[in-house]
């Protein structure tokens, strides 16, 4: 009798934990699941579900070592009980967790087990999921390897191999989700596949994938996904040399960013447009967009972005022969580069200022604060421009750390 009450209480606690996680309260959910485990249960299906949901809750809370622990418990349990479907799910979840932790080889083993069981059970949905997880692991692996070159040919072989594998797995996933008519899953896969092709330097296929992604985003009325697709399409157009088309895509991305009231992505779109119009040699428009970018960067207190905006504005004004304006922005660029510790930027800004001073015929004494000799700058350049080394901007650092990827609002 007592035993029955205990059972009910474990289940009740677990159900409350589940309800709280559904509401997005993962902390609360975790505490109820922990309490449910304290009470204990003899129903191993329930225990497996508790482990699995705890693992997922910890994943959401970004406590990946805890997530790993519980998904591992779930895997052990499902293997013990011979629950094949449960083992497949546990393997998938464990694989995702290992991927985020950067343990790619182990993640691949989990994906393979997930796939093997799905095949054994003739579970097409499971196979599609396993392929998708596989693709994500290889995509993340490719991105995690620090590369130094900017040209496709400069990516290390290891990166290219991982990305090619990612593309193959996404393609395999796509075959199944098309068969299943799962449009939401197709949208996600097209987006990831497009990004993989893009990183591989295969810009035409990237565009084709992102166009499909765009279609599906529109079907679902998913404006975030639509904005992402336009942005990715714009980027691919730049490398295909179609700057007009790129501007068109970026303008649509900007429009959506404004509708979504996302200032950071609005700034990014303005910056892309400013650069694209520079490539089109339409400097007035470039200035207009770089100014928009500058204002948002200031609003967001993004000093690095502000520095880049000033650099771009200085260059655009120089191109138009507005040397006074150019000087204003070059000085601002110098100030900001110093502040953010951007050595390359500082050096570039110093040279721009001195170039402009020559043009404007100013004496060095006019602005000695700007051109005061800085001992720690390497002047071993004999007046040559510094070779642009890769700046470790925020985005590039993002490539090096493995965080879970952006939420998809698409249901």
Partner 1 sequence: MHVIEVDSVQRWTEDLRHMTEVECMCVLQSKPIGVDEDAAGELIVSGAGAAS
- For partner 1, the binding residues in 50-79 under the rule CB under 8 A are 50, 52-53, 56, 59-60, 62, 74
Minimum CB separation from partner 1 for residue 14, in Å?
5
Q: Based on the shown chain and the rule CB under 8 A, indicate whether residue 86 belongs to the binding site for partner 1.
A: yes
Written in H, E and C, the secondary structure of 26-70 is HHHHHHHHHHHHHHCCCCHHHHHHHHHHHHHHHHHCCCHHHHHHH
How far lies 407's CA from each of 60, 147, 174, 375, 411, in Å? 11, 26, 20, 47, 11
Of the candidate spans 294-302, 360-368, 370-378, 398-406, the one that interacts with partner 1 by CB under 8 A turns out to be 398-406
Which contacts (CB < 8 Å, 24+ apart) does range 123-130 have?
123/85, 123/88, 124/176, 124/179, 124/180, 125/180, 126/85, 126/88, 127/176, 128/173, 128/176, 128/177, 128/180, 128/182, 128/185, 129/92, 130/88, 130/92
- For partner 1, the binding residues in 367-396 under the rule CB under 8 A are 385, 388, 390-391, 393, 395-396
Residue among 316, 314, 303 at smallest CA distance from 393: 303
SS3 280: coil
CA 135 – CA 25 distance, rounded (Å):
30
Q: Based on the shown chain and the rule CB under 8 A, indicate whether residue 146 belongs to the binding site for partner 1.
A: no
Of the candidate spans 103-111, 186-194, 361-369, 373-381, the one that interacts with partner 1 by CB under 8 A turns out to be 186-194
CA 349 – CA 344 distance, rounded (Å):
8
Minimum CB separation from partner 1 for residue 410, in Å?
8
Phi then psi for 39, rounded to 5 degrees? -70, -45
In the bound state with partner 1, the residue whose beta carbon lies nearer, of 127 and 192, is 192
The binder of partner 1 chosen from 188, 249, 332, 350 (CB under 8 A): 188
Of the candidate spans 96-104, 297-305, 361-369, 374-382, the one that interacts with partner 1 by CB under 8 A turns out to be 96-104
Q: Based on the shown chain and the rule CB under 8 A, indicate whether residue 105 belongs to the binding site for partner 1.
A: no
The binder of partner 1 chosen from 87, 271, 293, 306 (CB under 8 A): 271
Q: Residues 277-296 vs partner 1: string with x where CB under 8 A? A: -xx-----------------
- For partner 1, the binding residues in 206-265 under the rule CB under 8 A are 213, 225, 227-229, 231-232, 235, 238-239
CB 330 within 8 A of CB 349: yes
Residue among 76, 62, 60, 145 at smallest CA distance from 104: 145
Q: Based on the shown chain and the rule CB under 8 A, indicate whether residue 119 belongs to the binding site for partner 1.
A: no
Binding-site size, partner 1 (CB under 8 A): 86
In the bound state with partner 1, the residue whose beta carbon lies nearer, of 149 and 161, is 149
Contacts of 76 (CB under 8 A, 6+ apart): none
The binder of partner 1 chosen from 127, 202, 348, 357 (CB under 8 A): 348
> Which DSSP symbol is given to 285?
H
In the bound state with partner 1, the residue whose beta carbon lies nearer, of 231 and 375, is 231
The binder of partner 1 chosen from 127, 186, 202, 312 (CB under 8 A): 312
Q: Based on the shown chain and the rule CB under 8 A, indicate whether residue 192 belongs to the binding site for partner 1.
A: yes
CA 306, 311, 316, 320 torsion-angle sign? positive
Contacts of 187 (CB under 8 A, 6+ apart): 213, 216, 217, 220, 222, 225, 410
- For partner 1, the binding residues in 2-31 under the rule CB under 8 A are 11, 14-15, 18
CA 408 – CA 411 distance, rounded (Å):
8
The binder of partner 1 chosen from 131, 198, 250, 289 (CB under 8 A): 198
Q: Based on the shown chain and the rule CB under 8 A, indicate whether residue 140 belongs to the binding site for partner 1.
A: yes
Q: Based on the shown chain and the rule CB under 8 A, indicate whether residue 134 belongs to the binding site for partner 1.
A: no
Helix (H) or strand (E) holding 108: helix 104-120
Of the candidate spans 1-9, 102-110, 304-312, 371-379, the one that interacts with partner 1 by CB under 8 A turns out to be 304-312
CA 56 – CA 98 distance, rounded (Å):
13
The binder of partner 1 chosen from 311, 327, 334, 350 (CB under 8 A): 311
The binder of partner 1 chosen from 89, 113, 141, 292 (CB under 8 A): 89
The binder of partner 1 chosen from 122, 151, 376, 378 (CB under 8 A): 151
Contacts of 299 (CB under 8 A, 6+ apart): 263
Of the candidate spans 255-263, 295-303, 307-315, 363-371, the one that interacts with partner 1 by CB under 8 A turns out to be 307-315
Q: Based on the shown chain and the rule CB under 8 A, indicate whether residue 357 belongs to the binding site for partner 1.
A: no
CA 264 – CA 73 distance, rounded (Å):
40
């Amino acid at each position: 009798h007592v035993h029955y009450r205990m059972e009910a209480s474990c289940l009740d606690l677990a159900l409350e934990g589940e309800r709280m996680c559904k509401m997005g309260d993962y902390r609360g959910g975790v505490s109820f699941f922990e309490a449910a485990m304290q009470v204990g249960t003899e129903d191993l299906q329930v225990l497996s579900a508790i482990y699995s949901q705890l693992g997922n809750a910890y994943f959401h809370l970004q406590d990946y070592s805890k997530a790993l622990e519980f998904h591992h418990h779930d895997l052990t349990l499902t293997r013990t009980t011979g629950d094949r479907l449960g083992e497949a799910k546990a393997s998938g979840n464990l694989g995702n967790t290992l991927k985020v932790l950067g343990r790619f080889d182990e993640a691949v083993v989990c994906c393979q087990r997930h796939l093997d069981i799905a095949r054994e059970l003739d579970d097409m949905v499971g196979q599609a999921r396993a392929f998708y997880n596989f693709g994500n692991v290889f995509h993340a692996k490719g991105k995690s390897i620090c590369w130094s070159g900017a040209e496709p040919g400069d990516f290390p072989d290891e990166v290219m191999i991982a990305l090619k594998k990612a593309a193959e797995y996404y393609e395999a996933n796509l075959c199944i989700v098309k068969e299943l008519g799962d449009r939401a899953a197709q949208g996600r896969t097209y987006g990831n596949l497009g990004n993989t092709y893009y990183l591989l330097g295969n810009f035409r296929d990237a565009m084709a994938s992102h166009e499909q992604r765009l279609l599906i985003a529109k079907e679902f009325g998913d404006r975030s996904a639509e904005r992402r697709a336009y942005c990715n399409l714009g980027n691919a157009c730049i490398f295909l040399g179609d700057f007009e088309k790129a501007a068109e895509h970026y303008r649509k991305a900007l429009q959506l960013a404004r509708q979504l009231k996302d200032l950071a992505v609005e700034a990014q779109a303005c910056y892309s447009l400013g650069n694209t119009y520079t490539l089109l040699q339409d400097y007035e428009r470039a200035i207009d967009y770089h100014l928009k970018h500058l204002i948002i960067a200031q609003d967001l207190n993004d000093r690095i972005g502000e520095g880049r905006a000033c650099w771009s504005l200085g260059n655009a004004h120089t191109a138009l022969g507005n040397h006074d304006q150019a000087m204003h922005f070059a000085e601002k660029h110098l100030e900001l580069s110093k502040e953010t510790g951007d050595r390359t930027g500082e050096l570039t800004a110093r040279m721009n200022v001195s170039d402009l001073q020559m043009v404007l015929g100013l004496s060095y004494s006019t602005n000695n604060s700007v051109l005061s000799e800085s001992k720690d700058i390497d002047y071993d350049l004999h007046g040559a421009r510094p070779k642009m080394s890769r700046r470790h901007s925020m985005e590039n650092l993002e490539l090096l750390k493995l965080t879970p990827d952006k939420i998809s609002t698409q249901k």
